[in-house]
């Protein structure tokens, strides 16, 4: 039986661009998640998300695993980028789009064809 930490590691490993958030990109359940996902969506690349409200085990374990106490959390290429403030700041100065587009390009061969 896999543990919650195993699940988190698998999610981060399988998804080059992943946001742990409250709610979904279409229906965020908190203002911070809404701001973060809006910045991420404006980069124009596909990304995965995990709704921590539907996953209480992940909600409890991820802050310990990541050493990051809050949500949302953006993970790119297996590395924690940060939370809402960092995501929005990176978006405003152009770093987020550069990072997201570079990561998406690097992994485009990994994506299943739609």
Question: Annotated binding residues, as ranges?
Answer: 22, 30, 59, 71, 84-85
- Return binding residues for glutathione: 22, 59, 71, 84-85
The helix/strand/coil state of 50 is: strand
Alpha-carbon distance 6 to 77, whole Å? Answer: 17
- Return binding residues for [2Fe-2S] cluster: 30
Phi, psi for 80 (deg, rounded to 5): -75, 120
């Amino acid at each position: 039986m896999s543990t919650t930490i195993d699940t988190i590691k698998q999610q981060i490993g399988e998804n080059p661009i992943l946001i742990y958030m409250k709610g979904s990109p279409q229906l965020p359940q908190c203002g911070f998640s809404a701001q973060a996902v809006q910045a991420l969506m404006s980069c124009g690349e596909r990304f995965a998300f995990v709704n921590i409200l539907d996953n209480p085990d992940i909600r409890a374990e991820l802050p310990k695993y990541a050493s990051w106490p809050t949500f949302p959390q953006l993970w790119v290429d297996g590395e924690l980028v940060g939370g809402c403030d960092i995501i929005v700041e990176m978006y405003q100065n152009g770093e987020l789009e550069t990072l997201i587009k570079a990561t998406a390009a690097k992994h485009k061969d990994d994506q299943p064809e739609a």
